[in-house]
Amino acid sequence: MVLDSFLKRSVTGGLGSPKAEIMADTAVALASANVALVARKVIGRLCEYLSSSRDHKAVGRRPFDKMATLLAYLGPPEHKPMDSQWSSMDMTSTKFEEIMAKHNMHEKDEFKSIKTLNIFYQAGTSRAGNPVFYYIARRYKIGETNGDQLIYHVILTLKPVCRKPFELVIDFTHTSTENRFRTEFLQKWFVVLPEVAYENIHAAYIYNADSWVREYTKYHDRALAPLKNHKKLIFLDTPARLNDHIHPDQQKLPGATTSLDEDLKVFNNALKLSHKDTKVAIKVGPSAIQVTSAEKTKVLSHSVLLNDVYYASEIEEVCLVDDNQFTLTIAHESGPLSFIHNDCDSIVQAIIHIRTRWELSQPVSSWSHSGQRHSSLRSDKPIT
């Protein structure tokens, strides 16, 4: 709005008018925050104005001097990576593949490294006899993983079988904001994946959706609208439910996912305190804590039990407030998590145990690096 006002004032009152100069100061402030946007908008509008004037003598040199100053401030045009170039095109699956093939992406080291990350892979068959693909959401890191090359890897992996029915498992275990797709990239998936893949997917199993997934789908409600209440979308919250669709011998989820359900101490009927208190089960395993909702919530219009996973390495503090309440401080969380349970003492002891065991598994240098060892595991009353 400020830019439009500045341009309008410049055209009607002259680039050198006092009001235009005031607006220019504001526009320059905006320019420092978003150079590319300002460059496109300002210079485009000024060029329209100058080219529309037939009386070049009346225009004079001043507008051109001003434009030269502005261009000098903005600097040379920013080099656009391939991602941004392609996103602005009228992209289709065929065009996307042609561009990637033209740049020999499959031969580049970065593309090969994406394959080795095992973000997306095919392994085993379902009970229906269909090939099964896996997407491990936590392995995609925003800012580290090249999005277009990931899509290309997915397309090449699907290509040999996507003309026949197949099934997909999306593992959202321990997924957070660092694993998200930006809005533009999320939309690109719906455009560049082959239409035949959407037609032939027999089912997509969403495993271990957590609180972050719920918030992400709410934020991108419009982009994800086609998936709402879709019959091919199946949310799974336990290994047993996955067994209904894929035999255990054929399942190829990562060990870090499957091991979460081994040797668990389960504390049911807990209450997680927040702006809206939630009934949960607290599960303490050898390497992580799981906070599983006991009441279903809506995700893409499906009723879902959410499961938040916190690794032992992320536990910064556990504090027994009284006999029935404790708090848990997790790295990267905005604040402590508070819980009420009849056996808080046992829960806190179990958490201290897995955190201590993790610390003992680390090199001694890591203790000195953090500046503490057990001091972060405490209680406001003695733990016996």
Please choose, from the candidates 128, 117, 131, the residue with its C-alpha nearest in 3D space to the C-alpha of residue 159: 131
Of 42, 39, 33, the closest CA to residue 10 belongs to 42
| Together in a domain, 277 and 242 | no
Residue 184: which domain range?
90-253
Whether residue 158 is found in the same domain as residue 100: yes
Query: How many folded domains does the chain comprise?
Result: 3
Query: Which residues lie closer than 8 Å to 22 by C-beta, 6 or more apart?
Result: none
Q: How many angstroms separate the CA atoms of 150 and 221, rounded?
A: 23
The residue count of the chain comes to 384
Choose the weakest-confidence range: 125-134, 171-180, 368-377.
Answer: 368-377
On whether both 153 and 232 belong to a single domain, the answer is yes
Which range, 38-42, 353-357, 369-373, has the best average confidence (pLDDT)?
353-357
The verdict on residue 2 lying in a domain is yes
202 and 124 in a common domain: yes
Q: What average pLDDT does the segment 223-240 reach?
A: 93
Please give the Cα distance from 350 to 369 (Å, whole number).
25
Co-location of 323 and 356 in the same domain: yes
Contact 327, 338 (CB under 8 A): yes
First-last CA distance in the chain: 64
Does any domain span residue 348?
yes
pLDDT at position 118 is 96
Sorted by sequence, the CB contacts under 8 Å of residue 315 that are 6+ apart come out as 289, 328, 329, 330, 331, 351, 354, 355, 376, 377
Backbone Cα Rg of the chain: 28
Q: Which of 230, 253, 276 is the last residue of a domain?
A: 253
| Domain-located, residue 56 | no
Place of tokens 């997934």: 213
135 C-beta neighbours (distance < 10 Å), count:
17
Instruction: Decide if pLDDT at 127 tops 80.
Output: yes
- Going by pLDDT thresholds of 50, 70 and 90, the confidence category of residue 11 is very low
**Residue 207: CATH number of its domain:** 3.40.525.10
Residue 136 CB-density burial (10 A; 0-12 exposed, 13-18 middle, 19+ buried): buried
288 - beta bridge partners?
311
Residues 206 and 310 occupy one common structural domain:
no
Residue 259 lies in a domain: no
Same domain for 273 and 249: no
Tell me if 207 is assigned to some domain: yes
Whole-number Å distance between alpha carbons of 132 and 120: 11
When pLDDT is cut at 50, 70 and 90, the band that residue 284 belongs to is very high
Whether 249 and 274 map to the same domain: the answer is: no
Q: How confident is the model at residue 62 (pLDDT cuts 50, 70, 90)?
A: low
Q: Is residue 14 domain-shared with residue 113, that is, in the same domain?
A: no
Asked if 301 and 193 sit in the same domain, the reply is: no
At position 52, the amino acid (one-letter code) is S
Predicted confidence band of residue 40 (pLDDT cuts 50, 70, 90): low
pLDDT at 20 over 60: no
With 80 as the cut, is the pLDDT of residue 365 above it? no
Instruction: Say if 31 falls within a structural domain.
Output: yes
More confident residue, 362 or 42: 362
Q: What is the pLDDT of residue 24?
A: 47
pLDDT of 383 reads 40
Q: Are strands 131-136 and 166-171 parallel, antiparallel or unpaired?
A: parallel
The pLDDT value recorded for residue 85 is 44
- Our measurement of the distance from residue 60's CA atom to the centroid of its chain's CA atoms, rounded to an integer in Å, reads 52
Secondary-structure breakdown of the chain: helix, strand, coil percentages, each rounded to the nearest 5: 45, 20, 30
* Residue 219 and residue 182 in contact, taking contact as beta carbons nearer than 8 Å: no
Whether 27 is covered by a domain: the verdict is: yes
User: Phi then psi for 99, rounded to 5 degrees?
Assistant: -65, -45
Residue 246 has pLDDT above 90, yes or no: yes
Whether residue 284 sits in one domain with residue 245: no
Residues 207-216, buried b or exposed e (16+ Cβ, 10 A)?
A: bbbbbbbbeb
* Phi, psi (rounded to 5 degrees) for 331: -55, 140
Query: What pLDDT is attached to residue 111?
Result: 84
Give the residue carrying structure tokens 């006999």: 323
Residue 52: pLDDT band by 50, 70, 90 thresholds?
low
Taking the C-alpha atoms of residue 284 and residue 312, their distance in angstroms, rounded to an integer, is 10
The residue among 287, 298, 257, 284 whose CA lies nearest residue 343 is: 284
Q: Whole-angstrom Cα distance, residue 122 to residue 215?
A: 29
**Predicted pLDDT of residue 98:** 80
* Residue 234 and residue 277 in one domain: no
User: Where residue 319 sits, what CATH number does that domain have?
Assistant: 2.30.29.30
Distance CA 307, CA 25 (A): 50
**Residue whose token pair is 């009001």:** 19
Q: Is 271 part of a structural domain of the chain? A: yes
Q: What is the pTM of this model?
A: 0.72
**Is the distance from CB of 278 to CB of 292 less than 8 angstroms?**
no
